[in-house]
């Protein structure tokens, strides 16, 4: 490390969730085990208990651990959030304000995810970077506030509008796009899935490896190269209907069956775009996805089968 350079010390909130489980692993590989403090409201080995509603607790951890970078993943997702709108607002907005305040006081950089849920029914189905953000869910509104705070809080704060994320290491955490994770477990272990959205529901999706790489690439980019989308870049992975997902799973498990029993989450899915236009992220920090639908399905089935046989 060059003389005078401050070593990177990272705090991750919400570290036990779908993204945190994988991001912490990658950050620890990159910066060293002891340089990454994983925290969550839940208890687990290797994880410090921290509620993001506890502003003093966040500040003292940031100060005592000499934190330079915060990855703020603690949040309620869309399905859980719409069941508990007040709690969703508190955790997603007040919790973020607490984290921003600590980051500002101790000069930390901050990554805070946004979501495709910032878009509402008035958005074009192929969502541009810049358009009216009029979400119909409380969850989406909290993400719009997060993007505004990124640009107005006078700290180096960055975000990505993650699509629905597909991964095998940790369960999905109460979102509308959870069906695209649950379906693999059902296909492998039950042979059947009752899907809570219609067969023709098309949403933007992304494999976790692409999402983690995007996160690291955004945080590695020089601040000067980032423009007014810094608080929430559109990033596209791929886009498919549930019917197309089932068809791709059939390449591995031809006997798999799926029924469609839409619930309230259909409304949230219908209010979001089908696909994402990500030209700004490509231009400003070189974003490029690697996983298409068939490759995601191949990886999910291979990894779930391997993890089952080794457990």
Query: 74 contacts which partner out of ligand NAD, ligand SER, none, CB within 5 to 8 A by kind?
Result: ligand NAD
CA–CA gap between residue 298 and residue 295 (Å, rounded)? 5
If one counts every other C-beta atom within 10 angstroms of the C-beta of residue 94, the result is 14
* Residue 241 or 250 having the CB closest to ligand NAD: 241
Is 239 a binder of ligand SER (CB under 6 A)? no
Query: 176 contacts which partner out of ligand SER, ligand NAD, none, CB within 5 to 8 A by kind?
Result: ligand SER
* Residue 131 or 250 having the CB closest to ligand NAD: 131
- DSSP 8-class letter at 41: S
Token duo for residue 26: 């990658």
Nearest to 298, CA basis, from 184, 179, 198, 175: 184
Find the shortest distance in angstroms from Cβ 291 to ligand SER: 16
Positions in 144-183 near ligand SER (CB under 6 A): 164, 175-177
Element (H, E) at 111: strand 109-111
Find the shortest distance in angstroms from Cβ 176 to ligand SER: 4
CA–CA gap between residue 165 and residue 1 (Å, rounded)? 34
* Residue 18 or 35 having the CB closest to ligand NAD: 18
Query: 260 contacts which partner out of ligand NAD, ligand SER, none, CB within 5 to 8 A by kind?
Result: none
Q: Is 165 helix (H, G, I), strand (E, B) or coil?
A: strand
Interface positions with ligand NAD (CB under 6 A)? 13-14, 16-20, 40-42, 50-53, 73-75, 77, 91, 95, 113, 115, 162, 164-165, 173-175, 177
Find the shortest distance in angstroms from Cβ 241 to ligand SER: 16
Positions in 99-138 near ligand SER (CB under 6 A): 115-117
Find the shortest distance in angstroms from Cβ 119 to ligand SER: 11
CA–CA gap between residue 63 and residue 82 (Å, rounded)? 34
Check if 179 is active-site.
no
Token duo for residue 292: 């298409």
Inter-axis angle of helices 179-189 and 242-250, nearest 10: 30
Query: 281 contacts which partner out of ligand NAD, ligand SER, none, CB within 5 to 8 A by kind?
Result: none
Spell out a b/e string for 242-263, using b for 16 or more CB atoms within 10 Å of the CB, else e: bbbbbebbeebeeebebebeee
* Residue 142 or 229 having the CB closest to ligand SER: 142
Q: Of 31, 71, 139, 162, which is the active-site residue?
A: 139
- Name the residue whose CB lies closest to ligand SER: 175
Q: CA quadruple 15, 20, 23, 25: dihedral positive or negative?
A: positive
Given the rule CB under 6 A, which residues bind ligand SER?
Answer: 77-78, 115-117, 164, 175-177
């Amino acid at each position: 490390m060059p003389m005078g350079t401050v070593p990177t010390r990272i705090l991750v909130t919400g570290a036990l969730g779908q993204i945190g489980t994988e991001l912490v692993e990658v950050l620890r590989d990159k910066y060293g085990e002891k340089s990454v403090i994983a925290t969550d409201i839940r208890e687990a080995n290797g994880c410090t208990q921290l509620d993001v509603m506890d502003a003093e607790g966040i500040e003292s951890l940031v100060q005592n651990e000499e934190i330079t970078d915060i990855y703020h993943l603690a949040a309620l997702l869309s399905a859980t959030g719409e069941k508990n709108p007040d709690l969703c607002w508190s955790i997603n907005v007040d919790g973020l304000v607490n984290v921003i305040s600590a980051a500002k006081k101790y000069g930390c950089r901050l990554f805070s995810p946004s979501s495709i849920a910032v878009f509402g029914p008035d958005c074009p189905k192929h969502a541009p970077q810049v358009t009216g953000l009029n979400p119909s869910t409380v969850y989406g509104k909290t993400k719009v506030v997060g993007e505004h705070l990124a640009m107005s809080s006078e700290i180096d704060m960055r975000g990505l509008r993650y699509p629905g994320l597909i991964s095998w290491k940790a369960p999905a955490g109460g979102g509308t796009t959870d069906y695209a994770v649950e379906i693999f477990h059902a296909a492998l272990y039950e042979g059947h899935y009752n899907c809570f959205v219609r067969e023709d529901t098309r949403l933007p999706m992304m494999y976790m490896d692409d999402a983690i790489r995007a996160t690291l690439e955004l945080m590695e980019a020089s601040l000067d190269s980032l423009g007014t989308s810094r608080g929430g870049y559109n990033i596209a992975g791929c886009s498919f209907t549930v019917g197309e997902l089932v068809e791709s799973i059939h390449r591995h498990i031809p006997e798999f069956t799926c029924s469609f029993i839409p619930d309230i989450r259909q409304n949230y899915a219908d209010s979001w775009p089908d696909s994402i236009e990500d030209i700004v992220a490509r231009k400003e920090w070189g974003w490029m996805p690697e996983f298409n639908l068939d490759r995601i399905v191949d990886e999910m089935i291979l990894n779930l089968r391997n993890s089952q046989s080794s457990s």
